[in-house]
Amino acid sequence: MYRKMERYKVNFKDIVVIIMITLAVTFVIKQFYMISTVDGYSMESTLYDKEMLILDVNAYDKEKPKYKDIIVFERRDLIQRYFIKRVIATEGDTLKIENNKLFINNELIDEYYIKEEMITEDLEVKIPKGKVFAMGDNRNNSMDSRSYIIGLVDVKQEIIGKAIFSLTELKKIE
C-alpha cells in the first residue's frame, strides 16, 4: 500500500511539472503570436469569413509594413473594432486610384489577389510617416482606407499584427 501511494505522489509531481511547463511555453508563445478569426467578407478570395489565422504581433517592432502584408488593426473609436486588410501603400508612397485602376508612385499595380475588378471613386493620397493605406481584397465589399471612417492606419497605435499562417487552410499567408 505504501509503495502505491509513493507512485501516485511521483505521478502527481510529474503532472504538476508538465502543467507548469505548458503554462510557461504558452506564455512565451503569446508574447510573439496570437490567433485571430476573420469576421466578414472583405478579404475574399484570399481569406474567408471565420478563417482562423496566426498573427505575428512583433512583426513591425524592427521593420516597417510592406506592400501586400496582411494586417489586423484595431479601431477603438468604432463599433466594429477589428479589421483585417492588405497593406497597399506605405509611408512616402503616393497612391492614386484613377478609372478604377491602382497606381503606386505612378506605377500601375497588377492586383492579381483581388476578388473582382474594383469599382470605386478616384483618389490620390501621399502616405505620411508612420501610416499605411490598407484595403480589402474584395474591393467592392470592403470598408478600408478609402473610407473617411477608416482612413490611414497608424502603424504603432493601431496595427495588432501581421497575418502569417492560416490555421483553417494550414498554409502560410502570402
pLDDT at 4 over 70: no
Residue 9: helix, strand or coil by DSSP?
A: helix
Provide the CA 76 distance to its chain's centre, in angstroms: 16
pLDDT band at 13 (very low <50, low <70, confident <90, very high): confident
Max CA separation in the chain (angstroms): 85
Which has the closest alpha carbon to 147: 80, 50, 99?
80
The residue annotated as part of the active site, out of 9, 36, 42, 64, is 42
Cα separation values, 153 from 13, 29, 61, 128, 172, Å: 49, 26, 16, 10, 24
pLDDT band at 22 (very low <50, low <70, confident <90, very high): confident
pLDDT band at 170 (very low <50, low <70, confident <90, very high): very high
Mean per-residue pLDDT, 52-73: 96
Per-residue cell: 133: 493605406
Residue 162 among the catalytic residues? no
The residue annotated as part of the active site, out of 36, 85, 142, 162, is 85
Mean per-residue pLDDT, 34-40: 93
Which has the closest alpha carbon to 174: 69, 33, 66?
69
Which has the closest alpha carbon to 121: 147, 100, 143, 139?
100
Which has the closest alpha carbon to 104: 86, 127, 121?
127
Per the model's pLDDT, the better-predicted residue between 129 and 14 turns out to be 129
Per the model's pLDDT, the better-predicted residue between 65 and 6 turns out to be 65
Residue 85 among the catalytic residues? yes
Q: What pLDDT was estimated at residue 174?
A: 81
Contact 109, 102 (CB under 8 A): yes
